[in-house]
């Protein structure tokens, strides 16, 4: 019987996480719409904007990007192609492996990202549970 109670509590906690994610994702999409971005667009720009300057600046191999964002490689490829068409990212051949493709944020991409970032952060501040933020801060600190 104790297992059933623990199982139900665990499932309830999981459903709450899913609900928070869904509500937050909708709010983020609404906020970013005014900048012509969706949540996945912002996530890719966020990763690129936070690139390590010692690793060639704000440039990542597509596979490295796929490991950091929550998209399949094919969905990421389509998204990157669209962002490139909008002038927000550039794609090029990897110097270290001519078969690979690197993606870099452009000046226009960085500018749009910087304009959208405060609203994105405001949504996260408003939507995420306070205890989740405390947990994240303790894990990062």
Q: What is the pLDDT of residue 123?
A: 97
What would the mean pLDDT of 80-102 be, rounded to a whole number?
84
Tell me if the pTM is above 0.85.
Answer: no
Cα–Cα distance for residue pair 44/66, rounded to 1 Å = 9
Across the chain, the runs of DSSP E, i.e. the strands, are 59-61, 89-93, 101-105
The alpha carbon dihedral of 74, 114, 90, 54 has a sign of negative
Q: Treating both helix axes as pointing N-terminal to C-terminal, what angle do 107-127 and 2-33 enclose, rounded to 10 degrees?
A: 140
All residues at 6 or more sequence positions from 105 whose CB lies less than 8 Å from its CB, including other chains? 45, 48, 49, 51, 58, 88, 89, 113
Contact 45, 113 (CB under 8 A): yes
**How far is residue 89's CA from residue 51's CA, in Å, rounded to a whole number?**
13
- Residues with Cβ within 8 Å of 73's Cβ and at least 6 positions away in sequence, in order, are 62, 63, 66
In tens, the pLDDT along 50-75 reads 865 445 456 788 888 888 998 888 89
pLDDT grade for 139, boundaries at 50, 70 and 90: low
| Contact (Cβ atoms closer than 8 angstroms) between residue 85 and residue 41 | no
- Which tens digit of pLDDT belongs to each residue from 109-136? 999 999 999 999 999 999 988 775 555 5
Q: Residue 10: which pLDDT band, with cuts at 50, 70 and 90?
A: very high
In terms of pLDDT, which residue wins out, 111 or 94? 111
**Cα 109 from chain centroid?**
14
Q: With a cut of 70, say whether residue 37 has pLDDT above it.
A: yes
């Amino acid at each position: 019987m104790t297992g059933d109670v623990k199982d139900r509590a665990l499932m309830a906690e999981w459903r709450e996480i899913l609900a928070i994610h869904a509500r937050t994702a909708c709010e983020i999409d609404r906020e970013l719409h005014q900048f012509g971005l969706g949540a996945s667009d912002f996530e890719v720009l966020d990763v690129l904007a936070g690139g390590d300057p010692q690793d060639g600046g704000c440039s990542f191999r597509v596979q490295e990007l796929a490991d950091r964002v929550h998209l399949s490689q094919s969905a990421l490829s389509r998204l990157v192609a669209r962002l490139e068409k909008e002038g927000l990212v550039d794609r090029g051949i990897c110097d270290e492996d001519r078969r690979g493709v690197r993606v870099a944020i452009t000046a226009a991409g960085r500018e749009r990202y910087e304009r959208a970032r405060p609203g994105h952060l405001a949504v996260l501040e408003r939507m995420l549970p306070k205890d989740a933020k405390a947990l994240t801060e303790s894990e990062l600190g």
